[in-house]
Structure formats: C-alpha cells, structure tokens
Amino acid sequence: MIVSLQHLLGWIASSFRSREDLVLENLALRRQLLALHAQRPRRRLTPLHKLFWVALRMFWSGWRKPLVLVTPRTVVSWRRAGFRLYWTWISRFRRVGGRKRVSKEVRALIFRMVAENPTWGASRIHGELLKLGFDVSASVSRWIRRAPRDPDPAKRWLTFLRNHREAIAAMDFFTVPTLTFGVLYCIFVISHDRRKILHFNVTRNPHALWIVQQLREAWAYKQPHRFLLFDRDAKFGADVVSAVRDMGSEPTRTAFRSPWQNGVAERWVGSCRRDLLDHVIVLNERHLKRLMFSYLLYYHEDRTHLGLTKDTPAGRATEIRSAGESKIQAFPRLGGLHHRYEVAA
C-alpha cells in the first residue's frame, strides 16, 4: 500500500515537471541500470560512468534525486580528482612567462656551494652561478634553505687547521728497546704543513741541554715555526720552554694525558713502528741511527701520505706512461721491507 502510494505521488509530481527534467532523469536512471547490469556481481563504476555524472552535475540542478548507486559526495570527489588530473596534465608543458625552472644540475651545484662555503649567501652563490654560465634568476634563496646542512663540525676544524698548519711544528720522544735490554730515546721535530721531519736524533740519556741543542739543529739558520707543540713530559722543563721562546717560537703544551692533542707527532710514531721498528731488532745506538736515517729518506721521498692527498712530504712526481705496455720496475727500500715502483724508460 505504501509503495503504491509513493509511485502515485511520484507520477503526480512528474506531471508538473518540464520535459527536459524528465529526459535527464530517465537518462540518469538508464545509466545506473546499465552500470548494474554490466558490473555484476561486483558493482564498480567505470571512468565513463563517473564522467557522465560529473557532466550531469554541471548541467542539471536536480541530479541528486535519481542518484542511487553512490552518494552525491562521491560525485563531488570525482570532479575534484578530475580537476587535479587536468592541471597536472597542463603543468607538464612549459609555458611562456613566469619563473624559470631550476634544473637538477643547478640544484645539486647550489647544495654543493652551500656545503663547501658555509658563510656564502644567496647573492654570492647567484653571482658564482652567473660566472659559470648558468642563466638563473636571483631568487636562489629558496634552494639554499633546502640545502642539507653538514652537522659534522670536524670538517670546519679541518679547514681551520689547514689555514694554520704552516705555522705549527711539534716535537716528541719515543723509546726503542735494544738487543741488550737497554732503552734508547728518540727525539724528532715534525712540521705540520708537509709532515716533514725537521730533525731526528737518538740518545741514551736525554736531558734539557741536549734537547735545547736538538732544537737549535732542527732550524739551524732557518726561521722557526710560530708555534711549537709538545706534551708535558718532565724532560721538557723550564730550560726547554725558555729556549723555545728565545728562538722566536711560542711553546704550546698539550693537556695532561692527552696524546691526541699532538696527533701529527703521535701518528708519525705509529707509522715509524709499523713500517720499520716492529720488523727489526735494534742492536745499539749506531744501528738505530742508521736505520732511522734510511727510513726518513724513504718517508720523505717514496711513501705516499693520506693527509697530503696521496703525495709524499718532499713531493713525488707522477709517472707518465706511454700508450703501449710499460714495464714497471721495483726498487727495494729499507732492506726489502718496502719498495718504490717506477715506469721503466
């Protein structure tokens, strides 16, 4: 009874509608019937059905009344999705005017400049890009803000040390046991800039006057370094400190039990032990001097150094190889413990 009453009221209401509304309503109902028949047993609307309802919503105000399969909110979401797809497709094509796009290459270069030059601003980076031939706008600050920042402060300290290492030298002692269970004391002075050993000597009884004499021989008639770094060993007493000042250098002591503060000298001692002293038995003072002078020649002329970008402290020329096969010759160093390789002429 209630269903019949609903159909009767619907028929009476439809008699007052315009013919255009009836046609559109019938079209909407037929489209939904087609969707139900085509998608059995699973009801899923195709893109064509979605496009139909989006278009019907634009041209007919009463589109909500015959809608059965989905809610009106779903039709609105379809239109918004179509709007996004349309403008995504439009933005793929380059349009005349507006801000020029910054290429991936330029962005990577900006990030690199920010990382390598922490004090540079947008104007400085933009000027550098113009000098490199890149046609970019002045508004590069937005890419500077996106550049990843290096949280490691060690790199900045490394830059600081590189700017001051030419004025720094260091000295230290290390001991070497002999065959007769004696102990020899080795003193050395090393320069921070090229890691050169300025002076080396051996003694059985180190004392202040002997150390002062070694410092005088280290620089001889040359201008000493601005700073001389050494630890708080008792052998470096007041006489040594005053002698360093008289030479025109500033004595700088490390903290107590802090060998890492004199890292350049400590690393050289480790290299000396690994390369030579761990592989020989020292007989006496004369034997150790002969071995160490041979090692210093190998260290300065042949041994590449990581801190010098794989160069030697004295500077070693790169071999030039011919286009054809070149024979490589090996020259023994330190009695065959190490070798130097050169291209045969």
304 φ, ψ (degrees, to nearest 5) = -75, 150
Least confident of 145-159, 194-208, 224-238, 286-300: 145-159
Cβ atoms 285, 185 nearer than 8 A: no
Highest mean pLDDT, choosing among 26-30, 90-94, 119-123, 275-279: 275-279
CA-CA distance, 321 to 275, in Å (whole number)?
29
CA-CA distance, 114 to 118, in Å (whole number)?
6
CA-CA distance, 300 to 142, in Å (whole number)?
49
DSSP letter string, 299-342: HHHT--BGGGTSB-TT--PPP---SS--PEEEEEEGGGTEEEEE
CATH number of 168-308: 3.30.420.10
Give, as one character, the DSSP assignment of residue 171: E
Cβ atoms 194, 218 nearer than 8 A: no
Q: Is 178 helix (H, G, I), strand (E, B) or coil?
A: strand
**HSE (CB half, 13 Å, CA atoms) of 250?**
5
Residue 7 is predicted with a pLDDT of 45
Q: Each residue of 80-111: b (16+ CB within 10 Å) or e? A: eeeeeeeeeeeeeeeeeeeeeebeeebeebbe
Which of the two residues, 163 and 282, has the higher pLDDT score? 282
How many of the other CB atoms lie within 10 Å of CB of 174? 17
List the structure tokens of 155.
Answer: 């790199």
Residue ranges covered by each domain of the chain: 2-90, 104-151, 168-308
Which of the two residues, 173 and 137, has the higher pLDDT score? 173
Residue 154 is predicted with a pLDDT of 62
Highest mean pLDDT, choosing among 67-71, 163-167, 318-322: 163-167
**Residue 9, pLDDT above cutoff 50:** no
- Band (pLDDT 50/70/90 cuts) for residue 94 is low
Q: Is 61 helix (H, G, I), strand (E, B) or coil?
A: coil
Nearest Cα to 252, choosing from 241, 265, 239? 241
- Bridge partners (DSSP) of residue 201 are 187
**HSE (CB half, 13 Å, CA atoms) of 93?**
6
**Residue 51, pLDDT above cutoff 60:** yes
